A = this chain, B = another copy of it.
């Protein structure tokens, strides 16, 4: 630790590392003002979301700063994607413990820069405070959606298909691997899963394409079963999924091969940041085309039914006993 971030001072820190992240945003006023200006686009609504990540709770203290930055921004981008919103701007509040040094900040800012470029979002404001506690990063993201078109979790209808993007359960296995569990994985598999835990892959390419096609959407952050339960409750319907159809990565499939009970963990663990979507069967071809256009893996895993709650069916249609309904950091 050569130079202490605190010794650098808040204004210098902002000028040196954060102001460059705001360069493309006129409304950011160079991060020299107390507030940002945002000019809404005519005919559009805004989607506002905020999520915080805390060291030791949502990420590991020794995770690389670049990945922590991508996670802090990514979990918010995932919420925007689930609403069908295009990312526009974000505000960043960072509570820094004394031990955070300048190289850490530099690497953190590099992670933000990478995520910004990839997802087309700009920094327009924030706050930097000192804390005697753990590193805490709170992001508020603003997205844009054509007026009256925002997707919610509340529109699923009996008869709809249930789809899910990407693969499920990798982040949970990645966290176990990061904690040193062997999981009978080779080094490459282990690294892939840890990366999935550290860096969410917000489905920003697919989300806005779902407008007018999907009936309901949300992102899987509390665990697939719990989040499908949120969709079912908000839509006043039931959801049935076929466990065999839930897409698993090859390391996750290997874990299930080794331990059949592991599947229940993968379905109920958090941090997937995939989208779960309800859409009418008449749109199957269109859903597949949209996923291809967004270069996003999309898998049909079940359907919406009359009733309430979520049922996961295993081989032969038996209901899978689920030990817990989802994971909460709280």
Contacts and interface: CB of A to CB of B under 8 A. Distances in A.
Contacts of A218: 33-34
A88 to B, nearest CB: 11
Given A79-B34, A82-B35, A138-B127, A89 B48 contact: yes
- Chain copies in complex: 2
B140 A91 contact: yes
A56 B140 contact: no
Contacts of A89: 48
Interface string A230-262: 100010000000000000000000000000000
A49 interface: yes
A192 interface: no
B50 A45 contact: no
Nearest to A128: B330
Interface string A7-32: 00110000000000000000001001
A162 B57 CA distance: 47
Nearest to A38: B46
Interface string A30-62: 001111111110101111111111101110000
A127 B51 contact: yes
Contacts of A230: 32
Interface stretch (A99-107, A147-155, A176-184, A295-303): A147-155
Contacts of A126: 50
A147 B38 CA distance: 10
B125 A49 contact: yes
Interface in A266-314: none
A319 interface: no
A40 to B, nearest CB: 4
A40 B46 contact: yes
A77 to B, nearest CB: 11
B33 A153 contact: yes
Interface stretch (A129-137, A166-174, A193-201): A129-137
Contact of A133 (B35, B136, B143, B150): B136
Nearest to A9: B330
A142 interface: yes
B45 A40 contact: yes
- Residue from A6, A42, A58, A132 with most neighbouring chain B CB atoms (10 Å): A132
B136 A95 contact: yes
A133 B133 contact: yes
Contacts of A10: 328, 330
A125 B215 CA distance: 22
A133 B134 CA distance: 6
A124 interface: yes
- Residue from A34, A35, A218 with most neighbouring chain B CB atoms (10 Å): A35
17 contacts: A33-B234, A34-B82, A34-B218, A35-B143, A38-B45, A39-B147, A40-B44, A48-B125, A48-B142, A50-B91, A54-B129, A54-B131, A54-B133, A57-B132, A131-B134, A132-B134, A133-B134
Interface of A: 6, 9-10, 29, 32-40, 42, 44-54, 56-58, 79-80, 82-83, 85, 89, 91-93, 95, 124-134, 136, 138, 140, 142-143, 147, 150, 152-154, 218-219, 221, 230, 234, 328-330
